[in-house]
Structure 1
Amino acid sequence: MNIDLLYGVGIFIPVRHLAKATDWYKEMLGFEMIHDDSPAANVLKVGDGTVTFCLVTCEDIEQPKFPQNDYEVNVYFNFHTNDVEKAHQLLSSKGANVGEIHDYGKVRGFDLIDLDGNHFGVVT
């Protein structure tokens, strides 16, 4: 496969209240809005924009459950950080719903849940 064929990732996140969710992702995680298509959706970028989140207004949100496994994975994707303690403290101080920090050997991390119950991991 030609490595230049793909250059980024777009992730779609269901939300009930678009404005509140957009504010949460901007304030809690520092995302930047790059496209306003409200009331249906908003697109936010992470860092340099190679990863984008499209927050999509939905009425009935059913959270997927990650299948049981022997790898201790319970979320579909993680945010990476260089300092898990600092990230945990900062998000906690802002009022985010965060779990306790766990040690997974070479990786340490915690769960993060947004306003609509979407689950993410934050790991080193």
Structure 2
Amino acid sequence: MSVISRKAGAIFIPVSDIAKARDWYCSLLGLEPTFEIIAGHLCCIPMDNNGLNLVLDSKIFNEESTYRNPAFHFNADDIQEAYQFMKQRGIELVTAIENGHWFNFKDPDGNLLMICKC
């Protein structure tokens, strides 16, 4: 047994404008954008009841820091419904639904992200 947990605690995403990013991600996830902005550059958005957080950080942002490959994916029960949801919101879709299970999209800062059928 290790003193290091096998549980991820946070996923960091570099963003250019912390308040706009908080609002965008909260809107995407159906949350009220009431999460505190810490030290002027961080915002932690809880993703589950097990302590996993999405940490938006404007201090680490630069053009080279954005994700060029998805570092993680959001789960969706219905991939077709998720795709249509993103399309209706005008979010930049990078791929169609691939193999009936996933698609990629970009956030406003150009980070490449994924939604996958769970």
TM-score by length of 2: 0.78
Of Structure 1 and Structure 2, the greater strand share is in 1
Deviation track 1:3-42 (CA, whole Å, cap 9, x = no partner) reads: xx45542011111011111110011123565443152111
**One-letter amino acid of the counterpart of residue 56, structure 1:** D
- CA RMSD of the aligned region, Å? 2.6
**1:50 CA drift (Å):** 2.8
Q: How does 1:1-124 map to 2 (within 5 A)?
A: 1=1, 5=5, 7-31=7-31, 34-48=35-49, 50-58=51-59, 59-62=61-64, 63-65=66-68, 74-98=69-93, 99-103=95-99, 108-124=101-117
1:64 & 1:25 partners in 2: Cα distance?
16
**1:46 CA drift (Å):** 1.5
Q: 1:112 to 1:35 in 2, by over 3 A?
A: same
Identical positions, percent: 27
Deviation track 1:42-94 (CA, whole Å, cap 9, x = no partner) reads: 111113353211111145231354xxxxxxxx422111111101111112112
2:84 & 2:12 partners in 1: Cα distance?
27
Contact 2:11–2:53 (8 Å) recurs in 1: yes
